[in-house]
Structure 1
Amino acid sequence: MDIVVIISQTLLYLCFSVLIGSFILLLVPSQYRPDIKISKRLLLISAITLPVFAFIPVLDITLYIAPRLGLVESLKIVLTTYTVGTAWDFTLLGSGVLILLIALARPAEKSIYAILGALLSFGIILTVAWSSHASSIDQVVGIISHFIHLTAVSIWVGVLLIIGWCSLNHKNWLEFLSWFSMVAIGCLVATALSGLILMDVMVDGYIDSWLVSYGQGLLIKHLFLLPLVFYALANGFIVKYMLSKDAAFNPIPWIRVEGFILFVIFTITAIFSQQSPPHGNYLMSEAVSPLFHLLHNDVIDSGSTIGFVVNLNTVYFFFLSILFVGLIVLSFFKKASIILSFLFSCLFVMCIYLMLMVTVVIR
């Protein structure tokens, strides 16, 4: 069931991104973006599947307690007394209104439709934040920080996805970058600040949390921010230079790579968000991460902490990571396949991860 929950949460984040990115771009005047064609069917599918994907964690809890109380009674209890169930009730309500809005909207009402659609989507994100782990630890701070975090990422990813896959051309690209660069920077800052608040709420000691699966996921997610920032800067600044030298240069593939990296971050978030956050005496009740154990066979108990000692392997992986940075930059200027560039990004992250892990010592 865990894998089903992970897939559902990844697709849930993807649906939010598609909806919010579409509504924002519908509000942007045509002279400030490329020509785009957003399928109404795509928006309907995203809105219809929102409550379906959001229901999977509810079903997971229901199936867990069903052997004692029965399926129907368990579902009733979860939907009426558990926070995750009550929040889903509002998710279903908001999604129903959103589906009607998309289905009944007319082309002449594009602006009001986009505004209402965006507001409803933000409202549904709030219901998801309400049911999050952070909310169960600190309700007010947890909900607000999770809402800001998911909203900022959904705006960033959403615009990238729609521009990357629904654009008919790359007309008005410099005009598009003039406002989207600011939006991306704002989303990055909001994501970073809300992420720090979420870590403060949910994680007792960031580095020591690497001992468990939640901390490992958090670390890998943060490492993927490094190539993400590169592509964001490249799409914001280097592309301007490339277009000034070659008007036929097509920047859309590199927007897609940035979107790929963000989708990987979505997936990692969905994976580790299903793990218990390292809060309190977490090593007493939580097994050490299998990934961490793969690289360290030390005896680990509740008093264990992480330290760092630089060694030859550290230097080796550091220079290997520099090599992949160079290959990422080279692939950009040589207009190489975006799959190749994405692969270099993943290998860069793997090298940085291994550099940190081989430097770790248990105290």
Structure 2
Amino acid sequence: MQYISEFLLYICFSIVMGNAVMQVVPQRYKPSIVVPKALLLSAILAIPILSYVPLHLTALEFKQSFQLSYAAMMKSILLDLQIGEAWLWTAVGAAGLAMIVGIPVFAKDRHMPKIALMLTLLLTFWLGYGSHVASLDAFKGLIVHTGHFVAVAVWLGILFVVSWFATDDNHWASFLKWFSPLAITCVVVALIAGITLMSYTTPQATNALMLNYGQLMLIKHASILPLLWLAYSNGFVYPRLAREGKLPSQLKLLRIESIIALFVLGSTAIMGQTAPPHNVLETLRTETPSWLFTTIYQGSFSPDLQLIWQWNLSSVLLIAAALLVLYAIRAAFLQRSFIWIVILSIIFIVFVYLAVMFGIEQAPTALDSI
């Protein structure tokens, strides 16, 4: 339940953020975009509802331990915990944003798009405030988590909104001229913030592969690579070919890119509801190892296992195969074979994942060097 709710929450945030950004962009720099008001309002109102799910599950889990009713336990969470305070402000912000979007007198005001964007950014701030990393480091954790989420939401939000709700491709060159650099900036910010987040959540990144969290992190990073390749192709390869008259409208290609982006959002959503392994050994005392790890890892498993990654023949061959698939994605892109772009992207993710997993070995001990 919490995985699905978190996944839907990220999609709703992306749609709301993408719409908010595109509303403040002058018409001469974007195609015509019509996001159905019912869908936009539903996404806004779903944010506090979906954000409530972790609080609900926490209340159910601990109400018996504290011998409290559900209402009393939830009151304590909302008033005493950081995640509860964040949810209250999220509900207030979402209500205000829904009024701006839904009430015609507000929607027609020329300043309202800027206010809506500010409210959307505040919602991402409160999401970061209630995050796990913010509870570990109040200031730096908040800034890093919020920066990471805003970068991803802006990049993928614009991608979702334009690819699925653009009604034409007018001003397309002008749109790509600012969106491509913005997307690159968002990716760089997300990568820097993501690496910083890993220092909080998974300081033992290789050992963390024994756990579900580490496996999801690997799948997420593998999914980002074909997404970046498609983003590069859409931002830089497509305009050149379009000028030569070799390709039709780009909207279908952007939709393919948005579908691949769902893999990244899905793994991120599940990670958000999975306890991060600050200490893998301690975590394995209360949590079973990932079935993916135990299925693929060739050595014997024990909770105190120390892992390293090394090149071997299997990893080299799989990475070579992944590069060939990446070239095949480019060929499918040029041939406008959309279904093959998706299939090949999934194959690429699998190859990269297996290349990493087959390179995992037990770290040598002091006795091995004697």
| TM-score of the alignment, normalized to the shorter chain, above 0.5 | yes
Aligned partner of 1:126 in structure 2 is 125
8 Å CA contact 2:100, 2:106 repeated in 1:
no
Residue 355 of structure 1 pairs with residue 355 of structure 2: yes
Matched ranges for 1:113-152 at <5 A = 113-152=112-151
Alignment-mate amino acid for residue 203 of structure 2: D
Deviation digits for residues 325-361 of structure 1, max 9, x if unmatched?
1221111000112x32112111101011111111211
Could you tell me whether the CA contact under 8 Å between 2:241 and 2:247 is conserved in 1?
no
Are residues 307 and 51 of structure 1, via their aligned partners in 2, closer, same or farther at CA, if it must alter by over 3 Å? same
What is the DSSP-based 3-state SS (H/G/I as helix, E as strand, rest coil) of the residue aligned with 2:325? helix
Offset at 1:151?
0.7
Amino acid at match of 2:80: T
Closer/same/farther in 2, CA of residues 83 and 107 from structure 1, 3 Å limit: closer
Q: For the structure 1 residues 294 and 110, does the alpha-carbon distance in structure 2 shift closer, same or farther, using more than 3 Å as the test? A: farther
Q: Report the RMSD for the aligned CA atoms in angstroms.
A: 1.8
Equivalent residue number for residue 8 of structure 1: 5
Question: Across the two proteins, how many residue pairs are aligned to each other?
Answer: 359
1:294-346 CA-to-partner distances (Å, cap 9, x unmatched) read 11253444542222344443243233213311221111000112x32112111
- Cα distance in 1 for partners of 2:187, 2:315 equals 29
Deviation at 1:229, TM superposition (A): 1.1
User: Cα–Cα, structure 1 residues 295 and 38, in superposed 2: closer, same or farther, change >3 Å?
Assistant: same
Q: Which runs of 5+ in 2 are unaligned?
A: 364-370
Q: Which amino acid in 1 is paired with 2:51?
A: A
Query: What is residue 341 of structure 1 aligned with on the other side?
Result: 341
In the TM superposition, what is the alpha-carbon distance from 1:106 to its structure 2 partner?
A: 4.1
Spell out, residue by residue over 1:162-193, the C-alpha distance to the aligned partner (whole angstroms, 9 max, x if none). 11011111121111100001110110111011
- TM-superposed CA distance for 1:123, in Å, is 0.7
Deviations, residues 91-142 of structure 1 (Å, cap 9, x unaligned): 1111111111111244874541111111111111111111111112222111
Cα 1:302/1:138, change in 2 over 3 Å: farther
Report if aligned partners of 2:20, 2:120 keep a CA contact under 8 Å in 1: no
User: Do structure 1's residue 304 and structure 2's residue 305 form an aligned pair?
Assistant: yes
Indicate the SS of the match to 2:63.
helix
Q: Partners of 1:323 and 1:190 in 2: how far apart?
A: 29
Task: Kindly indicate whether the alpha-carbon contact (under 8 Å) linking 1:19 and 1:47 is maintained by their aligned counterparts in 2.
Answer: yes
Which residue does the alignment assign to 2:294? 293
Q: Secondary structure at the match of 1:344?
A: helix
2:283 maps to a residue whose letter is: Y
Q: CA deviation at 1:45?
A: 0.8
1:210 aligns with: 209
Greater CA deviation, 294-303 or 340-349?
A: 294-303
* Whole-angstrom distance in 1 between the partners of 2:69 and 2:203: 37
Q: Secondary structure at the match of 1:64?
A: helix
Tell me how far apart the structure 2 counterparts of residues 64 and 261 of structure 1 sit (CA, whole Å).
Answer: 35
Deviation at 1:264, TM superposition (A): 1.4
Partner of 1:329: 330
Partners of 2:262 and 2:37 in 1: CA distance: 22
Specify the alignment match of 1:282 in structure 2.
283
After TM superposition, give the deviation of residue 285 of structure 1 in Å. 3.5
Matched, 1:251 2:250: yes
Change in 2 beyond 3 A, CA 1:297/1:43: same
Distance 1:37 1:126 in 2: 27
- TM-score normalized with structure 2 length: 0.92
